[in-house]
Chain A
Amino acid sequence: MDNFIFGQYSPGDSFIHRLDPRNKLFLTILIIVASLLIHSWVSPLILLLVCAFAIQTSHVGWHFLIHGIKFFIHMILLTSLLQLLLSRSGKVYWYFWIFNISSFGAHIAIMSFFRFIIAIIISMLFLLTTSPIEISDTISSLLNPLKFIHVPVEDISLTISIALRFVPTMTGEVHRIMDAQKSRGVQFHKGNVIKRIKMSIPIMFPLFINTFKRAEDLASAMILRGYTGNRYRSSIRKMHWHINDTIVFIAIILIIILIFLLIES
């Protein structure tokens, strides 16, 4: 769990951190889609350069990022290797039993390796530089058009932000409850099926009761502050579109258009 950084926010004040989260989400999706559509060998290298530039400016740290995605790189390498050895089409260079290396297989393997690497790096960078709260704000701003068909957008975004806010708090609580049970002599890794079933109850039950108590506290706090359902709420955090956002937006779009006009066509 410690070397697993997916979805973990790393706070900072870099150029990438300060970009508008809506802009970041849009460009992330755009780069992933572009990486799926390319067929030339040169285009992924350009996109990787863009990723490298983004990592450098985000101050997340190369070591931290690479350490976090090591697991995915192994998985992707394995899939690419299977594709390389098992697909037979075009010119065959080498074969043994069911394995063979063909020109088509090599192309497919290299392309799929680059595609996944780009998608993993760029989505990881988005999650590392955007806090959960910013993500939930972005989701609710994306849902905004649904107001016209009477979807309770404000309620949905409030629910999402409360849920994300309490994940770390409740995680801490789970660990405290587990420690408390351990100190009473409970062993979580031993025993037969019945014993293990019994062990899940002293963890689940306190957590459930606390969940309901916490919901009551939260509800009274909300009511006392004058909460009424599904009205527009002003936010303490405002998302601002700066001049930097425009520059990055235009730059990325230009790069992608150039890739498709000059290299792919």
Chain B
Amino acid sequence: MLNHTKAYKISILALFIAFIIIQNYIPLFGYSPVGPLSLTTIQITVIIAGIILGPVDGGIVGGVWGFLSLIKAFTAPSSPFEPLVFTNPLISILPRILVGLFAGYLFILFGHIIKKTSINMIITGLLGALLNTILVLGMIYLFYRTPEVAKAYGASNPAMIGKLLLIVVGTNGIPEAILSAIVTPLIADPILHFVKRDD
């Protein structure tokens, strides 16, 4: 009963937002360093929000993540690359909103086709993380390709950026997708049972 009240919807959304804020600011928790790379686990939280709270709330939680990375790019950048790229809301906010939204809709859509929830979650986790990588890097590619912007960002040859971004897909995008494909069902499945235990 409680899960269907407005009070519950507001509090769980607020706590998910708090969760995202913490993941952005506690080292080792939101970004786990593996060798020279830094894999983010934040998209997992957004995907889980999309699966359990629904597409709209997933989109809101994703939007908070995007907004925080926008602020972080301005105030406390962790790499010299960040202030150049993530200060553009089309790169930092829009893809993250879409990740939460799509994760919610994908889970509902695949729910009609695949009967086993955990397999559905593996696919949603994989596609959600891939969508984040593709959208963010795709947006960077779109904005960098024009010669003026490329020059302003200090890159002489726009053709090089395409190759560079493909390397990032290999080093960050694919491990992150595998990470969230493994972790999402392990966390979301028991929580879904926990949430629906009264129904």
Contact = CB atoms under 8 A, between A and B. Distances in A.
Interface of A: 1, 4, 6, 71-72, 75, 155, 158-160, 162-164, 166-167, 170-171, 174, 178, 188, 193, 196-197, 199-201, 203-205, 207-209, 211-212, 214-216, 218-220, 222-223, 227-229
Contacts of B75: 6, 72
A193 B76 contact: no
Contact of A212 (B17, B76, B195): B195
Nearest to B180: A197
Nearest to A214: B15
Given A197-B183, A200-B183, A163 B18 contact: yes
Interface string B14-47: 1111110110001111001010000001001000
B32 A196 contact: yes
B99 interface: no
Interface string B175-199: 1000100110011001100110000
B71 to A, nearest CB: 9
A8 B176 CA distance: 31
A158 B187 contact: no
Contact of B186 (A72, A193, A201): A201
A201 B187 contact: yes
A207 B30 CA distance: 13
B12 A171 contact: no
Nearest to B21: A167
A163 B44 contact: no
A22 B77 CA distance: 28
A211 B19 CA distance: 8
A218 B10 CA distance: 10
B32 A219 contact: no
Contacts of B195: 212
B13 interface: yes
A208 B7 contact: no
A193 B8 contact: no
Contact of A162 (B14, B26, B48, B186): B14
B5 interface: yes
Contact of A167 (B22, B187, B190): B22
A115 B77 CA distance: 18
Given A170-B22, A201-B183, A162 B194 contact: no
Given A159-B14, A200-B41, A212 B191 contact: yes
Contacts of A174: 22, 26, 29
